[in-house]
Amino acid sequence: MEAIFQGYLDKLSRLDTQAMFNSDFLLTWEKTDQELAAVFAVADALRYLREHNISARIFDSGLGVSLFRDNSTRTRFSFSSACNLLGLEVQDLDEGKSQIAHGETVRETANMISFMADVIGIRDDMYIGKGNAYMREVSQSVRQGYKDGVLEQVPVLVNLQCDIDHPTQCMADMLHIIHHFGGVENLKGKKIAITWAYSPSYGKPLSVPQGVIGLMTRFGMEVVLAHPEGYEIMPEVEEVARKQAVSSGGSFAKTNSMAEAFADADLVYPKSWAPFAAMAKRTDLYGAGDFDGIDALEKELLAQNAQHKDWCCTEELMKTTRDGKALYLHCLPADISGVSCEEGEVVASVFDRYRTSLYKQASYKPYIIAAMIFLAKCQEPQRMLQALFERGTKRWLK
């Protein structure tokens, strides 16, 4: 066995992943450090197998159900790639953008789609207080269904983006960072700036900045969250970040200055989002069916946004980062000034310089999702990876 693959297995053998078996992946901060490390190791191992044309199918048949409350090409492809890699066929359930159903309907639908489902991927990020709660409702419903003998297996849930966290995105970001800096052990003391940036649209989800501070404060990094006044994120997640920074020996700081955040940063993640308070208000308006109110709120937010067009990732700002060469991150698609919009989150020359890096960042997502499923479906992940390697089934007969 090649040393590099053996390295992943060795890493795994030192990690306790027992609690991941048959478990959902909903928030990174519900997982232990060892569990997160296991996701990274399995993702790397699965990528190794794929690169070496070795099949990673652990399913001969079975369904992966995708449940999106939003159009989403990228997430859809990442999820179906991950399912396909492991041998699951994807069946989509599109419920439209309507306010999510509750109670009876959720419980019933969850069971009706799960008779042969091994995994359910849900994206539901549109309403504060709803998305993650919905996922837990689905999870409880199918677990009850399994207990009652309705379902032959427990379909595990993967959070493909909710109102609180975006674990598959942030874990993919993190794996990219780990590889960029040559190992997780090199991240201690690195400064990462997750900052708001101007976009001509409004209402972009909070799950990315929240997911970033909720995850990246666990590796001893100096995490700085920057945004104009009024663009606060969920206080509960900030609290999580603060505690984790302490435990990990890093720090978590906030500022209203993009310049301050960028100064000497090793990594920058400039991205638009909507104010938490406004999004919570929007959810209430939506619940009350007050569409005039929603229109008024949208106008107000766009006007508020327009006051902060200077929050843009420029060459000048990039020069102030560590050696002028901070790693620029984005979850894509970015609003690029003069390209996808007049004024946006980043200038074209910065984006262009990091394009390949950004695409690589995105390329980890299918493997992260596959690793989450793998760890929820294999009781002994290390042994299984070794068995797949030894089986050596060619993915593609060239």
By the rule CB under 8 A, 3 interacts with its own copies? no
Shortest distance, position 113 Cβ to its own copies, whole Å: 5
By the rule CB under 8 A, 271 interacts with its own copies? no
By the rule CB under 8 A, 63 interacts with its own copies? yes
Among 2, 51, 229, 390, indicate the residue that binds its own copies (CB under 8 A): 51
Interatomic CA distance for residues 181 and 235, integer angstroms: 30
Interatomic CA distance for residues 349 and 347, integer angstroms: 6
Site track for its own copies across 244-263, x = CB under 8 A:
--------------------
For helices 276-287 and 291-306, what crossing angle results, to 10°?
160
| Cβ nearer to its own copies, comparing 32 with 84 | 84
Sheet with 222-226, strands from edge to edge, namely: 251-255, 222-226, 191-196, 267-271, 327-328
| Cβ nearer to its own copies, comparing 51 with 292 | 51
Among 32, 34, 91, 304, indicate the residue that binds its own copies (CB under 8 A): 91
Specify whether the CB–CB gap between 30 and 245 falls below 8 A: no
Partner residues linked to 120 by β-bridges: 65, 157
Among 85, 164, 226, 329, indicate the residue that binds its own copies (CB under 8 A): 85
By the rule CB under 8 A, 104 interacts with its own copies? yes
Site for its own copies (CB under 8 A): how many residues? Answer: 68
* DSSP secondary structure, 323-390, as one string: GG-PEE---S---EETTTBSS-SEEHHHHHHTHHHHHHHHHTHHHHHHHHHHHHH-SSHHHHHHHHHH
Among 17, 28, 111, 199, indicate the residue that binds its own copies (CB under 8 A): 111
Q: Given CA atoms 248, 250, 256, 258 in this order, what sign does their dihedral have? A: negative
**What residue type is assigned to position 323 of the chain?**
D
The pair of three-digit structure tokens given for residue 375, joined into one six-digit string: 């760890």
Interacting stretch for its own copies, rule CB under 8 A, among 216-224, 258-266, 320-328, 390-398?
Answer: 390-398
Interacting stretch for its own copies, rule CB under 8 A, among 274-282, 291-299, 307-315, 356-364?
Answer: 356-364
Residues within window 296-355 making contact with its own copies, judged by CB under 8 A: 332-333, 336, 339-340
Interatomic CA distance for residues 121 and 161, integer angstroms: 9
Q: What CA–CA distances, in Å, run from 216 to 209, 240, 276? A: 10, 11, 20
Q: Are strands 63-68 and 191-196 parallel, antiparallel or unpaired?
A: unpaired
Specify whether the CB–CB gap between 273 and 208 falls below 8 A: yes
Site track for its own copies across 125-154, x = CB under 8 A:
--------------------x--xxxxxx-
| Cβ nearer to its own copies, comparing 45 with 63 | 63
* Footprint of its own copies (CB under 8 A): 47, 50-51, 55-63, 65, 73-74, 76-78, 80-81, 84-85, 87, 89-91, 93, 103-105, 108-109, 111-113, 115-116, 118, 145, 148-153, 332-333, 336, 339-340, 356, 359-360, 362-363, 365-366, 377-379, 384, 387, 393-398
